[in-house]
Amino acid sequence: MDFSIKTFDGKNAIAQLKGGCIAVGIFEDRKLSEHALALDLDHVISNAVKSGDITGKAGTTLLLRNTGGRADRILLVGLGRQGEVSSKDFNSAAQAIARSFQTLGSSDAIVALPLDDVKDRDATWCLRSVVIALRDSVYRFDQLKSRKDSAANGVRKVAFAVPATASATAKTAVTQAAAIADGMDLTKTLGNLPANVCTPTYLATTARELGSEFGMAVEVLDRKQIQALKMGSFLSVTSGTQEPPKFIVLRHMGGKPKDAPVVLVGKGITFDTGGISLKPGANMDEMKYDMCGAGSVLGTMRAVGRMKLKLNVIAVIPSCENMPSGTATRPGDIVTSMSGQTIEILNTDAEGRLILCDALTYAERFNPAAVVDVATLTGACITALGHHNSGLFTRHDEAHDALAAELIAAGKATGDTAWRLPIEDSYQEQLKSNFADMANIGGPPAGSITAACFLERYTRKYTWAHLDIAGTAWKNGAAKGATGRPVPLLTTFLINRAGK
């Protein structure tokens, strides 16, 4: 889907824009938006509203034809109450436009919504919301079907009508939104691929393709190189599988050579059986999504590459399977991490933290400005936050509070929200071991917090945050599939950093 900007000057100039369809907003109480008023030739729109064919309720639509204007069709879109349009209302409208555009007999359309009428939001947010809704509506995952899903013939070119004075800002917003959508598409596809296709080697190949496309440096370490780095914790997870592990490093050096990079660390467990601590069979197929941390980091790097972001960003992805076998790590085994700290593995299904801790130690060599790790880490986070917010964890001091605020703001700006949970020394007590420096689990209470506390022990040489995306990375049930989160949050966080 292609996106562009169409500018107009003057109140009635919107009526001069030509296209297969033009979408305009209608408020409740039969009130027309400014663009709807300008297009209301012969009272076609106002008569439709007065008749009750559309109420203006957020997300409702009505398609009008033969309206006497230069556009072949006008799509009326409900926005809710004028002056009280919420983010939720606008998103409902954006999704309604996306659904309608899928079935139109036109390949091009114009979106002319009141971008300054949404409470606590600006035009950039509105444009991003519509772009992502449109791109999500045309995303398909059917490459493994012998008969492909029927492709909709609808709109493929969308222009946004904005005043000439706002053209530059709108172009930037649409470019960034399209890049985020590109990243989300990659993340969704990687998550949706089965584990017999999306292996650690496949993730490494994807990283190499990104490197080739965007001029990023790529390094992929194999088992022998991982052993040479003494990543005993990472290797303990892969000891039961025949699929070779990969340790992937992808560098986008868009900033100044001496600028400290932001490092994104993504959990890349391409299938998680739980190992010897075997998971129940029901819904185990969803454990192909246990690499969504890695997928979201790769998706973010794709967005960064598309935008040619002027920032140094490094992706670090430890990737392997977690399988049971005669060589698999056993509960009670003790391993030595790259940092030299020893870990008593009480549950082999708490494996994500075991691969991440060595990756977080490896990240020290980059002298990072900040490190953010992303992982489908704990079911406890779903219990705490459901499927709306990702869990955010950092230490509690000035530098980490500032990093947390950046991430939370980026989440709010995109609707890809995160909620901060505590890390305190009292929770660290739950990780005590009689036989090693720490245990890899802290028991059922506060499971997502103790998992973050485990990771925190490997991050004390830099500013760090942890995102637990177990509840937000994918949907189950009839809508089963990867969501592409938290690519919007991460990409916007990096955009904001680049703009400082």
For 395-428, the pLDDT digits (tens) are: 999 999 999 999 999 999 999 999 999 999 999 9
Mean predicted lDDT score pLDDT of the chain: 95
User: Crossing angle for the helix pair 352-362 and 447-456, nearest 10 degrees?
Assistant: 30
Asked if pLDDT for residue 149 goes beyond 80, the answer is no
Tokens 């060599």, residue?
365
Residue partners of 146: CB distance under 8 A and separation at least 6: none
Question: How far, in Å, CA of 133 to CA of 135, rounded?
Answer: 6
Asked if pLDDT for residue 310 goes beyond 80, the answer is yes
Residues annotated catalytic, as ranges:
279, 353
Q: What is the pLDDT of residue 447?
A: 97
Q: Which domains does the chain have, with CATH numbers?
A: 2-162 (3.40.220.10), 181-498 (3.40.630.10)
Question: How far, in Å, CA of 200 to CA of 222, rounded?
Answer: 10
Burial class (CB in 10 A: 0-12, 13-18, 19+), 155: buried
For 312-368, the pLDDT digits (tens) are: 999 999 999 999 999 999 999 999 999 999 999 999 999 999 999 999 999 999 999
For residue 11, name the pLDDT band (cuts at 50, 70, 90).
low
For 471-500, the pLDDT digits (tens) are: 999 999 999 999 999 999 999 999 999 996
Q: List the one residue out of 304, 320, 316, 206 whose CA is nearest residue 250.
A: 316
Q: What is the pLDDT of residue 209?
A: 98
What number is the average pLDDT over the span 355-384?
98
What number is the average pLDDT over the span 75-102?
96
pTM higher than 0.85 for the full model?
yes
What number is the average pLDDT over the span 231-238?
98
For 313-326, the pLDDT digits (tens) are: 999 999 999 999 99
Q: What is the pLDDT of residue 19?
A: 85
What number is the average pLDDT over the span 106-113?
94
Q: What residue type is 356 in one-letter code? A: L
Q: What is the pLDDT of residue 151?
A: 67
Q: Quick check: 85 and 118 in contact, CB under 8 A?
A: yes
Sort residue 83 into left (φ over 0), alpha (ψ -120 to 50) or beta: left
CA distances from 17 to 61, 70, 232, 315 (A): 21, 7, 63, 44
Asked if pLDDT for residue 244 goes beyond 90, the answer is yes
Tokens 């954006």, residue?
94
Asked if pLDDT for residue 178 goes beyond 90, the answer is yes
Instruction: Name the 3-class secondary structure at 21.
Output: coil
